[in-house]
Amino acid sequence: MHGVSTTDDLTAPPPASPAADAGRSAMPVLSRVGLVALAAYAGAQVISQVTSLKIGVVFDRSVDMGTFIYPITFTLRDVVHKTLGRSATRTLIVTCAGLNLFLAAYLQWTASVQSDPDWGLGREYSALLGPIWRIVIASIVAMVVSELVDTEVYHWFVTRITTRMQWLRVLVSNAVSVPVDNLIFAVGAFGALPLLSADALPWATVWSIFWVNLVVKGLVSAASVPFIYLTRDTALDRA
């Protein structure tokens, strides 16, 4: 009857507007693989930061031990991009940069706190984990710039070249971003730059660090390529 509301009319939800449906469809869906990739990316960032404090000798070449973990983050970034899209990946990169900065600041603070004399390792803790801020800043800047470059190259490849040959999208994006990361870090952390020449290394040593790290990072990055096949393309509309 006109003017009379039935029970079904009162309880039925209002129809969704086209704008609301579009908004929901644009929201990224976090798959299990995407969640694992997010956690692995953040974890690898922190592990590489801490293990970089150890300078080892591998095949008669000096290399910081974080170099064997850090390159994996470029392929993990590709997996996140593949599942969540470009915007979410940019957020992840900036968030992890903030996390690394907080880690360095917190280590600085804990190193400055007076140690319990019964513990006996306060001096060693401060010497090992107290951050060298030039290296910290160079590392974070290199990470942010190179990972954002990796994001844009990956985006260009899947939108302008092809969505097939997934191994090639990883190799192409990593082939650009890894040298960028290496150059910014080696020069920023150790080069004789204006206002930063006091603790600089000879340029021959800086370039030696660059080339050794580039080879190691390139090999590790190439070995991580199969990770891209862990999930399907679910964010091509947000690539």
Instruction: Write down the pLDDT at residue 57.
Output: 85
Instruction: Write down the pLDDT at residue 98.
Output: 96
Tell whether the model's pLDDT for residue 116 goes beyond 50: yes
Q: Is residue 164 part of a domain?
A: yes
**Least confident segment among 56-70, 146-160, 179-193:** 56-70
Tell whether the model's pLDDT for residue 140 goes beyond 90: yes
pLDDT tens-digit map of 16-37: 555 444 444 455 566 788 899 9
Using 50, 70 and 90 to split pLDDT, how confident is the model at 39? very high
Q: Which residue segment(s) compose the domain that 197 sits in?
A: 30-234
Q: Is residue 25 part of a domain?
A: no
pLDDT tens-digit map of 63-97: 888 999 999 999 999 999 999 999 999 999 999 99
Hunting for tokens 């974080």 — which residue is that? 66
Q: Is residue 18 part of a domain?
A: no
Instruction: Write down the pLDDT at residue 7.
Output: 46
**In total, how many domains does the chain have?**
1
Q: Is 147 left (phi over 0), alpha (psi -120 to 50) or beta?
A: alpha
The pLDDT of 182-201, averaged and rounded, is 88
The pLDDT of 53-69, averaged and rounded, is 85
Instruction: Write down the pLDDT at residue 15.
Output: 54
DSSP for 163-231 reads SS-HHHHHHHHHHHHHHHHHHHHHHHHHS-BTTB-TTPPPHHHHHHHHHHHHHHHHHHHHHTGGGGGGS
The pLDDT of 99-119, averaged and rounded, is 94
Instruction: Write down the pLDDT at residue 157.
Output: 96
Check: CB of residue 206 under 8 Å from CB of residue 190: yes
Q: Is residue 22 part of a domain?
A: no
Q: Is residue 60 part of a domain?
A: yes
Tell whether the model's pLDDT for residue 219 goes beyond 90: yes
As a whole number, the mean pLDDT across the chain is 86
| Both tokens assigned to 28 | 């990224």
CB-based burial, 181-196: b 16+ in 10 Å, e otherwise: bbbbbbbbbbbeeeee
Q: Is residue 11 part of a domain?
A: no
Q: Is residue 6 part of a domain?
A: no
Instruction: Write down the pLDDT at residue 232.
Output: 86
Using 50, 70 and 90 to split pLDDT, how confident is the model at 62? confident
Tell whether the model's pLDDT for residue 195 goes beyond 60: yes
Q: Is residue 205 part of a domain?
A: yes
| Both tokens assigned to 75 | 């392929």
The pLDDT of 218-231, averaged and rounded, is 93
Signed CA dihedral, 55, 201, 104, 45: sign only: negative
CA distances, 133 to each of 10, 34, 210, 222, 238 (Å): 63, 33, 19, 30, 36
Check: CB of residue 228 under 8 Å from CB of residue 76: no
Instruction: Write down the pLDDT at residue 231.
Output: 87
Tell whether the model's pLDDT for residue 152 goes beyond 80: yes
